[in-house]
Amino acid sequence: MYYCRMQDVGKAKADVAAARVMQRVKGVTVTPHFCKIEEKDISFFKDFQIIVLGLDSLEARSYINSVVCGFVEYEEDGSPDLSTIKPLVDGGTEGFKGHARVIIPGITPCFHCSLWLFPPQITFPLCTLAETPRSPAHCIEFAHLIQWGQDRTGETFDADNPEHMKWIYDQALKRGEQFNISGITYSLTQGVVKNIVPAIASTNAIIAATCVLETLKIATMCSTGMDIYMQYTGTEGIYLRTVPHDKDPNCIICSPGVPLEVDKSITLQKFIDTLFKDRRFKLKLSKPSVSYHGNNLYMQAPPVLEEMTRPNLQEPLVRLMGGEKSDVLNINDRRLTGVLRVRVTFKDDAETIDMDTVGTH
């Protein structure tokens, strides 16, 4: 990393980078925060106009994406309130390849809309590791995932502890000998255990600069922005191309209202039960609170509010929503980073029957 020198080894990267930039560029203030992004209160992110990501995991990207999508407020017609949008600029590299993208929450696809762009992680079945190892990686993962727990009970494995890593390497080597598998090296052991993504300065520079350029475009309107998602490939020649894709209307993170059809007679309690049964939401919810245009229909906490809103649970939802045929409810839950917006549409009982009859012909 080019802002780091030998004398900086061991210091917090955030502090070193901030000091270096401020020293070089007069008049700029860079405030370092040496912590995990999840440790910050969500309101912390409200103070910024644009958020640029230099993250290295899917989880962290998903988190910040949920935060900024949660900030977006929608107008009656489902269009986002532009003043609540905080663009995200994201990038990542692997070897001679990389990508950069711009997310305008509420307008362009969010991170969650296109999770499929990320390849699935490689994992090995435990039975292969335990019974039929065939590759150096199998031997290493056996030492790492199984042997450590058996032989060094009570000790937490620390990938940054050289003695721990050496132990894994030695065990893997022994297992390799036992099964006639060669090619186990210390470097490979580190790579497999730490899941090291190979990285080089030039690709990082290209992607980082692309992210900054897109940020400058958003901030100054000096030029048109990229078409959503840029791929860089430097393995065979050089290719930079943008690959647009669409917003997922069912995205539980950025949709202005995930469509959900319910019976006209449904009560608020039954509606909450329905949410738990829906495969789109069930893993995301534990104790959902429901509000409608700023009115709390049901709050799980604090106890005073819970008690006040509890009678609503037995009310028909359509009445709580002022008789609208279709409108958006906000669902809050401690398992959600942002807010889940559900567009409820009431189906007429009569119509339902008609539809069924049509279907049988």
Partner 1 sequence: MALRSTKYDRQLRIWGEHGQSALERAHICVLNCGPTGSEALKNLVLGGIGSFTVVDASKVCASDLGNNYFVDWDSLGQSKAKTVSAFLHELNDAVDAKFVEESPEALLESNPAFFSQFTLVIATQMQENSLLKLDEICRQLNVMLIIARSYGLAGLLRISVEEHDVIESKPDNKVEDLRLHNPWPELQRYVDEFDIDTTDNVIHKHIPFAVLLIKITQDWKRAHNGKLPANVRELKVNFLTITARRRVEEDEDNYTEALKSAYVVLFPPEISTELHAILEDKLTEVNASSPDFWVMVAALKQYIAKEGQGEPPLDGAIPDMHSFTDYYIKLQKIYQARAEADVTAMVGHVSCILKQIGRDSSSIPRTTIKHFCKNTRHLRVLRCKTLRDEFSSKAGPELQRLLANEESSHPALYVLLRAVDHFAATYNRYPGAFDGELEEDVSRLKAIAVSILNDMGGGGVALPEDLISEVCRFGAGEIHTVASIVGGIASQEAIKLLTRQFTPVQGTFVYNAMSATSLVLNL
Binding site for partner 1 (CB under 8 A): 1-2, 5-6, 23-24, 26, 95-96, 100, 128, 132-135, 179-181, 187, 190-191, 196-203, 205-206, 208-210, 212-214, 216, 223-224, 226-227, 230, 233-242
Contacts with 50 (C-beta within 8 Å, 6 or more apart), sequence order: 86, 87, 88, 89, 215, 218, 219
Q: Are 77 and 343 in contact (CB under 8 A)?
A: no
In the complex with partner 1, the residue whose CB is nearer, 15 or 227, is 227
Work out how close the CB of 119 gets to partner 1 at its nearest, in angstroms, rounded to a whole number.
12
Q: Looking at beta carbons only, is 47 or 131 nearer to partner 1?
A: 131
320 and 312 Cβ atoms separated by less than 8 Å: yes
The full DSSP string for 81-139 is -GGG---EEEEEEETTEEEEEEE-TTTS--TGGGGGGSPPPP---HHHHHH---SHHHH
Comparison of 197 and 301: residue with beta carbon closer to partner 1: 197
CA distance 263 to 69: 29
- Single-letter code of the amino acid located at 257: G
CB of 87 to partner 1, least distance (A): 15
Cα–Cα distance, 165 to 163 (Å, whole number): 5
Would you say 210 or 309 has its CB closer to partner 1? 210
Cβ distance 133 to 125 under 8 Å? no
Q: First vs last Cα of the chain: how many Å apart? A: 68
Q: How far is the CB of 64 from partner 1 (least distance, A)?
A: 22
What letter represents residue 312's amino acid? N
The identity of residue 275, as a single letter, is L
- The catalytic site residues sit at 127
Shortest distance in whole angstroms from residue 293 CB to partner 1: 40
Report the distance separating Cα 320 and Cα 324, nearest Å: 9
Q: Which is nearer to partner 1, 210 or 312 (CB)?
A: 210
Q: Which residues contact 270 (CB under 8 A, 6 or more apart)?
A: none
The H or E element spanning position 294 is none
Q: Are the beta carbons of 345 and 354 closer than 8 angstroms?
A: no
Q: How far apart are CA 271 and CA 317, in angstroms?
A: 8
Q: Which is nearer to partner 1, 153 or 187 (CB)?
A: 187
Indicate the residue type of 146: I
> Least distance from C-beta 96 to partner 1, angstroms?
6
What is the nearest approach in angstroms of partner 1 to the Cβ of residue 239? 7
Kindly state the smallest distance separating residue 244's Cβ from partner 1, in Å.
Answer: 11
**Total length of the chain:** 361
**Pick 43 or 235: Cβ nearer partner 1:** 235
Q: Which of these, 352, 345, 348, 351, lies nearest to 259 by C-alpha position?
A: 345
